[in-house]
Amino acid sequence: MSERRPALFLDRDGVLNVDRGYVSRIEDFEWVDGARECVATFNRRGWYVFVVTNQSGIARGLYTEADMLALHAHMETELEAAGAKIDRFYHAPWHEEGEVARYRKASIDRKPGPGMLLQAMADFNVNREQSFLIGDKETDMDAARAAGVGAFLFRGGNIATFAEWALASFEDGVRG
């Protein structure tokens, strides 16, 4: 097995892209300032970079899983052009009140549950103690804490600058 490495877990809407509410179409997608640079910087450090995103719009019937996957492919293409990559996207399309029957359920994967983070740590050789999440909602913070990783609440601005501050804080013992 490969050497254990730290992981940066990133929420999607509001952290990597501007949150316009249920972003599912490429034409509605806009990067948050510094998003591609943030991913590239952590790639160069040898960290895993994962996206962990609730996508209840799928359960609500607002868009399909295929729409979301097409958007993620677009993101990967633009990241690659910037010398960056996401190691894996994890998504939770579930919602207890969903309109689409196959997605209408409670799930530990849906944040504030830690399922997506725990799955990433099972799929990859992640050093949990050196890993943290950046999200824009308290549910993100709850999921990170439940998974045993650090948590930092992003409230806007340049995500690359924020991630550097979060890393310095984390290395100083602040768990978020």
For residues 145 and 133, the answer to whether their CB atoms sit within 8 Å is no
- Return left, alpha or beta for 146; rule: phi > 0 is left, psi -120 to 50 is alpha, else beta: alpha
Residue whose tokens read 């591609």: 36
Q: What distance in Å separates the CA atoms of residue 171 and residue 173, rounded to the nearest whole number?
A: 5
User: CA angle, 40 as apex, 110 and 161 as ends, to 5°?
Assistant: 80
Catalytic residue among 13, 87, 109, 140: 13
87 is catalytic: no
SS3 category, 146: helix
SS3 category, 153: strand
13 is catalytic: yes
For residues 69 and 26, the answer to whether their CB atoms sit within 8 Å is no
For residues 55 and 93, the answer to whether their CB atoms sit within 8 Å is yes
Determine how β-strand 7-10 pairs with β-strand 132-135: parallel
Residues labelled catalytic: 11, 13
